[in-house]
Structures are given as C-alpha cells and as structure tokens.
C-alpha cells in the first residue's frame, strides 16, 4: 500500500492490480480509442475491440480459474472497466456483460452443468452473454414482468418478450428473468439461461439510440422455448420472493461496473478538456489561464473523485467472492452517473464550438454515458433506495458516516 504522511490509502492498488490497469490502458489506447468514433458513426458492433480484449485475455478475468478464467473480483473488474470506458464506452460495455453479467451469475448462483457448459466460453471470450430483465411494460417496475414459464414434462416452456437487451443481437446466451408457474408479484420470479440459437428465439429488432451506438440494445422474443431443469439459474416458488431478492442483489455487480465505466468516461473527457485548455489560445492567453475555467476543472475533479471513492468503497466491501453491498452500491452508481453527466457536459462547454462537433470526442462520451444513467437501474431508483434506507436509519458500512 502506498504510504501517506498521515496514514495509508485503504484503496491503494496492489502491484498485480496496477499491472492489470496498465494492460487494460494499453489495449484501450491501442485498439479501442482509435475506432471509437467509427463504431459510433457507423453504428456497427465493435468487433475489433472484442478481438483485442479477447487476445489480451481480459474478457475472462472474473470467471473462475477452474474454467480457465482469471478468478478476480469486483475491484479488478472496476479497474478494467474504468480504463476501457476512458477510451470507448460502447466497447467497455461488452466487457461489463462478461464481468458482471450472466457469467458471474452462473458462477455464483448456477448449477454445475450450467457452469461446465457456459463458463469456458466466458473465460476465453468465445461467446458474448446478455441479460433480459426489462420488458416494454416493466422497466423500473420489474415486478410487473410478464415473461413466464409453463410446465412441460421435466422442464418448462418459456414465453417472453424482453426489451433493451444489450448485445442481444450478438450474444450466445441470455439470462432471462421470468415467472415460474403460479407466480404473482415478486413471488415466484426466478431466472433461466437460454441458448440464443434454440428454436423459438428471435431478435425482433434493435433500438436506434442517441449514444452507445456501437453496441445495440435488442428486443428478444422467446416463443415456447424449451427450458431443461439444468437451464434454471434460480428457481422461483410461488410462496416466496427470496429468489427475486437474490437476483436483485446480484445486480450490484453490474451497478458497480456501470459506475466504473462512467468514472472512466468522465476521466477521459476531463483529460481531453485539460489538454485542449492548455493548447487553445484566446488572444495572448490560453484557456487554462482563466481562473473561471480553472474552477470548472476543480468542480469536475471534485465530483469525479467523490464518485470514485464511493465506488472504491463499494467494491472493496464486496470482498473476493462476495457481492457489493446495496446501499454503498446505490450511492456509487448514482454519484458516478451524475458526476459523468456533469463532467462530460462541462468538457463540451470548455471546448466551445468544437465541443459540440462530432469531430471531437467529448460529445460522443456525453451521449454514451447518458445511457448508463438509465441502464442497470436509473438514478431515480437508486435514490429511492438510498432515501428510504437513510430515512429508516440505515447507514453505509464502514466508518465514513457520522
Ligand atoms: C443503455 C441501456 C442499456 C440497457 N441494457 C439492458 C439490458 O441489457 N437488459 C435489460 O433487461 N435492460 C436493459 N436496459 C433497460 C433498463 O434497465 C431500463 O430502461 C430501466 O430499468 C428503466 O426502465 P424503463 O425504461 O421502462 O423506464 P421507466 O421504468 O418507465 O421509468 C421512466 C422514468 O421514471 C422514473 N421512475 C420510474 N419509477 C420510478 C419511481 N418509483 N420513483 C421515481 N422515479 C421513477 C425512472 O427513473 C425514469 O426516469 C438498458 C437501458 C439502457 C438505456
């Protein structure tokens, strides 16, 4: 740990973590950043990013070593996602799905047959995974979902229409949240893993979006898709909401990953603005000489560093095999989303007219992080959770709350 005159930084990175950060930055600078504008302009899947991440063996870092992965946790996932997000959020989100999406859920909550079948793909990057929770009538109010299993011999048939499935048009498998027989409300909600080549699965379309244009959000239809008992990730029973709570809690991995991408993207925008301010002359001074603009940089840094600290606390509290705690996760996600919005917006302002131009990267970053403020649970839903917990007397873990 790095020594500090007044103590020790509890979040200082180990040598291995620093090496991982450097590797991620090298790949991001070499393979992600140069193509980021291209994926955005052409709205094409960032295949070259995927290939580079796969070649660097970064896609499987959180998959268990037994299946060929790196066996790392939320701290390392956040480090890599921050570095990738700094270069291109459309590409980073692919790694997010691999680190904090279905593979992690299979590892923690699944059965051995499912692990043997799918985790080697996750470890090597042989296949992308996606997650189907949202429906057109059930986004924040996920308890209104209609996706349903009906009994079929030893297994089930799945009928569902999932909306906004990131990477659903390219993925090998989808983790689908659905109702088990006789489910009502949150009781009886569980999840199954679906091979997307199975009969009855189709991609009904992809959304045309403001940002994150390299990675599409798909609408996936599941018509009478056969589900074997070993495809069940979490069983739902009609008399209990426990499975639903388990699934919701597991989303904390994804929320921390979302926060990490926002912090990385905002870091990239801040660095770009600082570089521009040093070069851009207005009369005989540079922009960096104006105190009013220095204050903007100070405000951007204050928000960014605050969010970074909240994220570090959340992922450190997860421990090597655990899940980031809910309140700390909600604080980190909301803070990182809002910091990224603020920082990217101010970066555009600091570049003046060029900030508004698609020839410069900051407007793209702003459009990209805007989607992250909605995905993985909106800012408002995080604040609902924070507000009710704090009003109910709950404090975040650790000593930071006085
Ligand atoms: C880039 C991106 C990627 C996504 N990827 C996935 C994915 O891979 N898989 C998946 O399943 N889904 C995904 N989603 C969907 C996402 O989870 C939902 O869009 C989100 O949960 C909000 O649901 P909604 O769009 O139906 O909005 P609504 O729930 O209709 O909400 C509309 C607005 O009302 C607010 N609101 C709703 N309820 C409350 C409340 N009780 N209190 C206060 N405010 C409230 C919301 O915060 C929002 O501002 C993605 C979305 C985006 C933008």
More reliable by pLDDT, 87 or 5: 87
**351 and 250 in one domain?**
yes
**183 and 96 in one domain?**
no
Query: How does DSSP assign 337-348, residue by residue?
Result: HHHHHHHHHHHH
Specify if 165 maps to a domain.
yes
How far does the centroid of ligand 1 lie from the alpha carbon of residue 136, in Å? 10
> Residue 33's domain is classified under what CATH number?
1.10.540.10
Mutate to test the pocket of ligand 1, among 130, 137, 140 (most ligand atoms within 8 A of CB): 140
Evaluate: CB of 32 within 6 angstroms of ligand 1. no
Ligand 1 nearest-atom number relative to CA 97: 8
N-to-C CA span, the chain:
26
What residue's CA is closest to ligand 1, atom 52? 375
Q: Are 51 and 77 in contact (CB under 8 A)?
A: no
More reliable by pLDDT, 397 or 262: 262
pLDDT at position 5 over 90: no
**182 and 117 in one domain?**
no
Ligand 1 nearest-atom number relative to CA 211: 1
Residue 399's pLDDT is 45
Evaluate: CB of 44 within 6 angstroms of ligand 1. no
**376 and 257 in one domain?**
yes
Question: For residue range 180-197, what is the model confidence (pLDDT) as tens digits?
Answer: 999 999 999 999 999 999
> Residue 343's domain is classified under what CATH number?
1.20.140.10
**162 and 93 in one domain?**
no
Specify if 258 maps to a domain.
yes
At 395, is the pLDDT very low, low, confident or very high (cuts 50, 70, 90)? confident
How far does the centroid of ligand 1 lie from the alpha carbon of residue 316, in Å? 27
At 369, is the pLDDT very low, low, confident or very high (cuts 50, 70, 90)? very high
> Residue 193's domain is classified under what CATH number?
2.40.110.10
Specify if 253 maps to a domain.
yes
**What's the mean per-residue pLDDT of the chain?**
96
What residue's CA is closest to ligand 1, atom 41? 381
**187 and 288 in one domain?**
no
Which residue in this structure is represented by tokens 């604080």? 331
**249 and 235 in one domain?**
no
- What sign for the dihedral angle of Cα 177, 181, 184, 188? negative
Ligand 1 nearest-atom number relative to CA 384: 42
**120 and 136 in one domain?**
no
**105 and 197 in one domain?**
no
Query: How does DSSP assign 50-96, residue by residue?
Result: HHHHHHTT-TTTTS-GGGTS----HHHHHHHHHHHHHH-HHHHHHHH
Residue 219 neighbours by CB under 8 Å, 6+ apart: 161, 162, 163, 164, 165, 168, 203, 204, 205, 206, 207
Ligand 1 nearest-atom number relative to CA 383: 43
pLDDT at position 224 over 60: yes
**224 and 87 in one domain?**
no
Task: Compute CA distances 334 → 169, 214, 320, whole Å.
Answer: 28, 24, 24
**236 and 251 in one domain?**
no
Evaluate: CB of 132 within 6 angstroms of ligand 1. yes
Specify if 32 maps to a domain.
yes
Point out the domain boundary residue: 105, 124, 143: 124
Specify if 339 maps to a domain.
yes
What residue's CA is closest to ligand 1, atom 25? 139
Point out the domain boundary residue: 124, 157, 178: 124
How far does the centroid of ligand 1 lie from the alpha carbon of residue 93, in Å? 17
What domain range includes position 25? 3-124
Average pLDDT of the residues in 296-317: 98
pLDDT at position 149 over 70: yes
Strand partners, 170: none
Average pLDDT of the residues in 159-184: 98
Q: Are 233 and 114 in contact (CB under 8 A)?
A: yes
Specify if 387 maps to a domain.
yes
Residue 1's pLDDT is 42
At 319, is the pLDDT very low, low, confident or very high (cuts 50, 70, 90)? confident
CA–CA distance, 192 with 150 (Å, rounded to integer):
13
User: Per the structure, how many domains does the chain have?
Assistant: 3
The pair of structure tokens assigned to 252 is: 């904390």
Evaluate: CB of 139 within 6 angstroms of ligand 1. yes
How far does the centroid of ligand 1 lie from the alpha carbon of residue 182, in Å? 26
Question: For residue range 76-129, what is the model confidence (pLDDT) as tens digits?
Answer: 999 999 999 999 999 999 999 999 999 999 999 999 999 999 999 999 999 999
pLDDT at position 321 over 90: no
Specify if 261 maps to a domain.
yes
**161 and 141 in one domain?**
yes
Point out the domain boundary residue: 98, 124, 150: 124
Average pLDDT of the residues in 64-85: 98
Ligand 1 nearest-atom number relative to CA 376: 17
Give the range among 4-8, 152-156, 215-219, 263-267 with minimum mean pLDDT. 4-8
Specify if 396 maps to a domain.
no
Q: Are 250 and 213 in contact (CB under 8 A)?
A: no
Strand pairing report for 129-132 and 173-184 = parallel
Backbone dihedral region for residue 127 (phi beyond 0: left; psi -120 to 50: alpha; all else: beta): beta
Backbone dihedral region for residue 319 (phi beyond 0: left; psi -120 to 50: alpha; all else: beta): left
Ligand 1 nearest-atom number relative to CA 380: 47
Classify 121 as helix, strand or coil. helix
Average pLDDT of the residues in 61-82: 98
């Amino acid at each position: 740990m790095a020594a500090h005159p007044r103590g020790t930084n509890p979040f200082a990175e180990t040598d291995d973590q620093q090496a991982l950060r450097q590797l991620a930055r090298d790949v991001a600078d070499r393979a992600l950043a140069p193509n980021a504008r291209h994926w955005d302009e052409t709205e094409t899947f960032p295949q070259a990013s995927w290939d580079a991440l796969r070649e660097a063996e970064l896609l499987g870092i959180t998959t268990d070593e037994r299946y060929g992965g790196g066996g790392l946790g939320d701290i390392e996932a956040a480090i890599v996602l921050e570095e990738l997000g700094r270069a291109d959020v459309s590409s980073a989100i692919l790694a997010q799905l691999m680190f904090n999406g279905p593979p992690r859920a299979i590892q923690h909550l699944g059965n051995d047959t499912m692990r043997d079948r799918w985790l080697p793909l996750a470890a090597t990057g042989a296949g992308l995974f996606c997650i189907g929770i949202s429906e057109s009538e059930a986004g924040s109010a996920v308890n209104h979902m209609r996706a349903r299993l009906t009994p079929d011999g030893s297994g089930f048939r799945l009928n569902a229409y999932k909306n906004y499935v990131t990477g659903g048009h390219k993925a090998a498998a989808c983790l689908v949240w659905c109702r088990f027989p006789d489910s009502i409300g949150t009781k009886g909600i569980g999840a199954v893993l679906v091979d997307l080549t199975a009969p009855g699965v189709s991609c009904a379309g992809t959304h045309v979006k403001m940002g994150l244009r390299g990675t599409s959000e798909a609408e996936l239809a599941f018509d009478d898709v056969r589900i074997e008992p070993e495809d069940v990730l979490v069983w739902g029973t009609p008399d209990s909401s426990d499975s639903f709570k388990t699934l919701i809690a597991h989303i904390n991995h994804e929320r921390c990953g979302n926060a990490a991408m926002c912090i990385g993207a905002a870091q990239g925008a801040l660095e770009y603005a600082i570089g521009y301010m040093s070069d851009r002359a207005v009369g005989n001074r540079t922009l960096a000489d104006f105190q009013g603009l220095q204050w903007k940089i100070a405000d951007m840094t204050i928000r960014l560093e605050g969010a970074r600290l909240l994220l570090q606390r959340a992922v450190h509290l997860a421990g090597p095999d655990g899940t980031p705690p809910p309140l700390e996760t909600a604080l980190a996600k909301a803070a990182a989303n809002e910091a990224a919005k603020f920082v990217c917006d101010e970066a555009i302002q600091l570049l003046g007219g060029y900030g508004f131009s698609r020839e410069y990267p900051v407007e793209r970053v702003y459009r990209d992080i805007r989607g992250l403020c909605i995905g993985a649970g909106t800012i408002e839903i995080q604040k609902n959770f924070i507000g009710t917990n704090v009003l109910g007397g709950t404090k975040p873990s650790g000593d930071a709350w006085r």
